[in-house]
């Protein structure tokens, strides 16, 4: 009940963007997790071609976040959000209507570009609209995003009983509704000039060494979050022998976010520096992987160990993530909020991709060398190393102590 009370206390723009993220994640996750299966099973494509299609989508998104953030600063976040959702509507519609490689590649590019546009723009709009309540807004944002990430795969698996096109058209329909709602309801904000050229803005943000160090230090958070889709579902399947066990991993995380996220963020905001809670969250995330590392490969491994790891991992995410999002715009000028978010996701996305590759390598190497503890120990090292990085940045006074940015007038 408290969560819904807090939501009503925010402006209509914030409430719409929270619902928007629920819809975005629902539409995304009802389609993308099943895309590879459609390409190989329904269309008979080789693994190499599937890798190209999926890689193009990911590269289009990760590589263009900076452009999306800059567009939000210069053109206004509202228009960029609407354009991003409209492009995702077209992209997902193409997945439903086309079977040829050129059409699928076009769909991948458009859906990736869409994410590169609206992801930094939504966060920039929320950061500016929320004022001093950024941490609470991003806590609620996590709740809605996590809920959508649970609803999406469940809805997608049901729609696959019809066929993949039903999933793709439903996803496209969700984004079409979101596009219309944003165009009708989301109020425009005044766009303040940055005072520089685009390249000048990029030089200013990229030249912020403290911010780049912060983005790199957060590699642990993004890498370990992604283990909810890689290492932990694999462990749940191995422990139980059931394919459906992976769904419980998502359910545990969603329930935790719904019940605790806002309460936790509100309580911690009043107690101590933000860097303390980011570091504590990263420590918890890293430590959550140590018990599985200790018992990996032993006979009688508890079935519930993966669930316990997920609970502690999600607690760490809930501690750290809202304050990470709150700190990002505090590094620079209000006029460059979108650019800072865009660069953060470029840097952390590349770093997390490298981290995920290392975890995947550790899974394979551990299997070959009869060392099943290796990927778990690798994840623990990522979390603890990131926590140490945040502690070092805080000790050297690199991190902003307070958020000084002032929202632009509407």
Binned average pLDDT, 10 residues per bin, the chain of 410 residues = 69 91 92 81 78 78 89 94 95 88 89 92 92 90 88 87 90 95 89 89 95 93 82 70 57 72 88 89 95 71 68 90 94 94 89 82 86 91 96 93 42
CA dist 82 and 130 (Å) reads 20
Please spell the DSSP secondary structure of 356-401, one letter per residue. Answer: HHHHHHHHHHHHHTT-TTHHHHHHHHHHHHHHHHHHHHHHTT-S-S
CB 148 within 8 A of CB 65: no
Residue-wise over 36-50: b if at least 16 C-beta within 10 A, else e? Answer: eebbeeeeebeeebb
Query: Residue 241: its pLDDT value, please?
Result: 60
d(CA 125, CA 12): 12
Q: How many helices (H) and strands (E) does the chain have?
A: 19, 0
- The confidence score (pLDDT) of residue 300 equals 47
CA dist 121 and 164 (Å) reads 30
* pLDDT attached to residue 245: 52
Report the pLDDT value the prediction gives residue 297, as an integer from 0 to 100.
62
pLDDT at position 402 is 55
- For 43, the 3-state DSSP assignment is coil
Residues 6+ apart with CB under 8 A from 147: 22, 25, 254, 257, 258
Q: Residue 405: what pLDDT?
A: 39
Q: Which two tokens stand for residue 155?
A: 């809805």
Q: Please write the tens of the pLDDT for every residue from 376-386.
A: 999 999 999 99
Model pLDDT, residue 298: 59
Tens of pLDDT, residues 10-48 = 888 899 999 999 999 999 988 887 887 788 877 887 767
pLDDT of residue 250: 63
């Amino acid at each position: 009940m408290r969560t819904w009370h807090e939501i009503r206390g925010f402006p209509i723009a914030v409430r719409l963007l929270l619902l928007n993220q629920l819809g975005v994640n629902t539409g995304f996750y009802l389609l993308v997790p099943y895309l590879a299966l459609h390409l190989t099973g329904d269309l008979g494509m080789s693994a190499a071609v599937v890798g190209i299609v999926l890689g193009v989508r990911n590269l289009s998104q990760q590589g263009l976040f900076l452009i999306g953030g800059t567009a939000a600063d210069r053109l206004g976040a509202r228009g960029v959000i609407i354009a991003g959702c409209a492009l995702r509507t077209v992209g997902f519609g193409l997945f439903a209507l086309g079977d040829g490689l050129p059409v699928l590649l076009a769909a991948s590019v458009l859906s990736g570009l869409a994410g590169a546009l609206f992801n930094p723009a939504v966060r920039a709009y929320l950061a500016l609209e929320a004022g001093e309540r950024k941490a609470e807004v991003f806590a609620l944002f996590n709740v809605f995003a996590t809920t959508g990430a649970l609803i999406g795969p469940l809805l997608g698996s049901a729609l696959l009983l019809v066929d993949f096109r039903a999933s793709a058209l439903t996803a496209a329909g969700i984004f079409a509704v979101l596009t219309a709602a944003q165009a009708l309801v989301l109020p425009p904000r005044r766009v303040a000039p940055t005072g520089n050229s685009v390249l000048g803005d990029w030089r200013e943000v990229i030249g912020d060494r403290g911010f780049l160090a912060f983005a790199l230090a957060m590699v642990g958070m993004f890498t370990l979050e992604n283990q909810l889709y890689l290492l932990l579902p694999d462990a749940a399947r191995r422990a139980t022998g059931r394919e459906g066990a992976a769904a419980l991993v998502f359910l545990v995380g969603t329930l935790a976010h719904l019940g605790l996220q806002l309460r936790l963020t509100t309580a911690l905001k009043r107690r101590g520096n933000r860097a303390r809670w980011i570091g504590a969250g990263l420590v918890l995330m890293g430590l959550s992987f140590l018990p599985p590392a200790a018992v990996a490969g032993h006979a009688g491994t508890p079935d519930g160990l993966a669930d316990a790891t997920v609970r502690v991992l999600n607690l760490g995410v809930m501690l750290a993530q809202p304050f990470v999002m709150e700190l990002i715009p505090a590094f620079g000028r209000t006029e460059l909020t979108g650019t800072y978010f865009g660069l953060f996701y470029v840097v952390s996305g590349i770093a997390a991709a490298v981290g995920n590759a290392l975890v995947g390598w550790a899974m394979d190497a551990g299997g070959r060398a009869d060392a099943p503890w290796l990927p778990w120990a690798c994840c623990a090292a990522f979390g603890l190393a990131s926590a140490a990085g945040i502690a070092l940045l805080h000790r050297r006074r690199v991190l902003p102590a307070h958020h000084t940015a002032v929202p632009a007038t509407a």
